[in-house]
Structure formats: structure tokens, C-alpha cells
A and B are shown apart, each in its own frame.
Chain A
Amino acid sequence: GEKVEQHESTLSVREGDSAVINCTYTDTASSYFPWYKQEAGKSLHFVIDIRSNVDRKQSQRLTVLLDKKAKRFSLHITATQPEDSAIYFCAASHYAQGLTFGLGTRVSVFP
């Protein structure tokens, strides 16, 4: 089955700087790559996703890049703010399959 590796377990970023989280996946059939955010004591909520028919997607301060050849995707957060502090999970799946998640990256934004 699919395996998703999230390369950074923690990330410490100065407020206003950029943060990048990298993930790799193993199943070439995977076609959907979402990202979820989990704030302290709360459940996961969706932040952004990308499908395999594009290689870049942007939503406000978030950009997702997908490199299908390398089986790699990444989340870029620009102009980080204190409210960006959370655990971020990448995930992958293909049709008729549940999402496989990475282990999460704890992002801390400091002043």
C-alpha cells in the first residue's frame, strides 16, 4: 500500500519568514495530495490540496508543489504568522482508497 514520508518532524520559523514542509510518497497511482492542519488540542482541518493533473496550486499564503516524477510534494507557507503554529500533515490517495497520512510536522512560529 501507499506510504507517505514527511521529512521534517519539527520546523521553527521566525514570524514573517517562509516555511517549507516536504513529503514523498511511494504509490505512482496516487493522484490526490491534501494537507491538513491540527492546532493544539483540536482535530484536523483541511488547508489545501493538489491533484496530479497540475504541479502547482496557490491559496493566499499557501502554495503546494507536486513533482510526480520524484513522487514528492511540498507545502510552502509565506509570511508566517503566529496562528500558523500547528502540526501539519500531508497525505496521499488514489481513487477508492482512504488517505495515507505522513507523521506530521510541528511548525512553531516565533516572534
Chain B
Amino acid sequence: DAGVTQTPRHEVAEKGQTIILKCEPVSGHNDLFWYRQTKIQGLELLSYFRSKSLMEDGGAFKDRFKAEMLNSSFSTLKIQPTEPKDSAVYLCASSPVQNTGQLYFGEGSKLTVL
């Protein structure tokens, strides 16, 4: 069984650019999550989808961050425009059970904004 796949693994962007990160969840999973991981803030929830419907949208991230789930097997996270403080690892995770089940994390996309 394929795990959660995230692309690209590394991205370098100039301040003000638009970047799109991609995620393919485990086949058959209903829930999909985007998290941002930094050493200072730890893991912060950006978005949570259940069966493609947006359930939770991290309040602090609404203005420049937009996650979409175009179909049950593909999600994107767009950051527009990027700022240096967006430099972090972006993690996608999926879960087979309604929310209170084990999350399967991807390897992450490391974003550096210059």
C-alpha cells in the first residue's frame, strides 16, 4: 500500500512568489490534514478535510494559505504571496477513520522563502 505522498520534497521561493504543495493521501482514507512544522511553533493545523469537505481552517492562516481537495486522492496547499516566515516543513496526513483515528503522515515538503 502506498503511503501519503507529498511533492515537492524541497522548495525554494523568493518572497512574494506563489507556491503550490501537493499531497496524495493513502487510498481510501476519508480525512486529510495539512500541518506546518517549525522548531518554535511545533505542529500547527492549517486545514482539515473530511470526505473532501473543509472541516477546519486554521484561523491564523486564512489570509495567504488556501488548501483544496480537488478529489478524494489529491490535495493542494497554495501559499500566496510567500513570506520568509513561511519557511517550514509542511506535512500532509490522512486518516481512515473519522478524525479520531491514526494519522499517516507524508515525508513533508520543506519550504524555504528567501
Contact = CB atoms under 8 A, between A and B. Distances in A.
Interface of A: 31-32, 34, 36, 42-46, 49, 51, 89, 93-104
Interface of B: 33, 35, 42-43, 45, 48, 50, 55-56, 91, 93, 98-100, 102-108
A109 to B, nearest CB: 22
13 contacts: A31-B100, A32-B100, A36-B105, A44-B103, A46-B103, A46-B104, A94-B100, A95-B99, A96-B99, A97-B99, A99-B103, A102-B42, A103-B42
Given A96-B55, A98-B45, A98-B56, A42 B107 contact: yes
B102 A43 contact: no
A97 B56 contact: yes
A102 to B, nearest CB: 7
Nearest to A2: B45
Contacts of A98: 33, 45, 48, 55-56, 99
B107 A43 contact: yes
Given A43-B108, A44-B91, A95 B100 contact: yes
A31 B50 CA distance: 18
A89 to B, nearest CB: 7
A20 B45 CA distance: 26
8 A-B pairs closest in CB distance: A98-B48, A101-B43, A32-B100, A103-B42, A98-B45, A43-B105, A46-B102, A44-B105
B33 to A, nearest CB: 6
B45 A45 contact: no
Given A89-B42, A89-B43, A98-B55, 17 more contacts: A34-B102, A42-B107, A44-B105, A46-B103, A93-B99, A93-B100, A95-B99, A95-B100, A96-B55, A96-B98, A96-B99, A97-B55, A98-B56, A100-B45, A101-B35, A102-B42, A103-B42
Nearest to A42: B107
Q: Which of B55, B99, B108 has the most CB of A within 10 A?
A: B99
Given A98-B48, A98-B56, A101-B43, A45 B105 contact: yes
